[in-house]
Amino acid sequence: MNQKMVAEAANDEDLIIVAGRYEGVDQRFIDLEVDEEWSIGDYILSGGEVAACVIIDSIARMIPGVLGNDNSNVDDSFSNSTLEYPHYTRPEKVENISVPDVLLSGNHQEIRKWRENQALEETKIKRSDLLKKKLS
């Protein structure tokens, strides 16, 4: 599963998720009824219910009106082949670590640049494979 698949699924009007348990779903059912099989990662769960919840949540947040602001998911991780920039809340200082000054400046252009740079740095450090995809 990836963000592109999620975005496409959010546009589907008819979506049925079948979650297997223990050894999975009968192969005959898959052969006769299933259009796509999705995996949420390279690991094993006891059943597909948790994976189905992950899929439902990721698709739901792409549907207009689900989030408080329809643009809230525009800068999310994986939406533009990068991870999201760091977020800060109150108080402004926690154990001698302060919110970066640029975020307190009110200069929206500088804040946007800072966020873009931070997103690139976070991606380079944590998921450089995403940057390779973005450049290719």
pLDDT at 125 over 90: yes
Residue 83 or 78, more confident: 83
Q: What's the Rg (C-alpha) of the chain?
A: 19
| 53: helix, strand or coil | helix
* DSSP assignment letter at 107: -
Q: What is the mean pLDDT of the chain?
A: 92
Residue 69: inside a domain: no
Chain centroid to CA 59 = 10
Taking only the tens place, the pLDDT of each residue in 11-51 is 999 999 999 988 889 999 999 999 999 999 999 999 999 99
pLDDT at 80 over 90: no
Domain ranges, residue 46 = 3-60
Examine the domain organization and report whether 95 and 43 are in the same domain.
Answer: no
pLDDT at 101 over 80: yes
Examine the domain organization and report whether 36 and 92 are in the same domain.
Answer: no
Q: How far apart are CA 129 and CA 81, in angstroms?
A: 9
Predicted local confidence at residue 104, as pLDDT: 97
Residue 53 or 68, more confident: 53
* Helix, strand, coil share of the chain (percent; to 5): 40, 5, 55
With beta carbons less than 8 A apart as the criterion, state whether 3 and 74 touch.
no
Examine the domain organization and report whether 134 and 93 are in the same domain.
Answer: yes
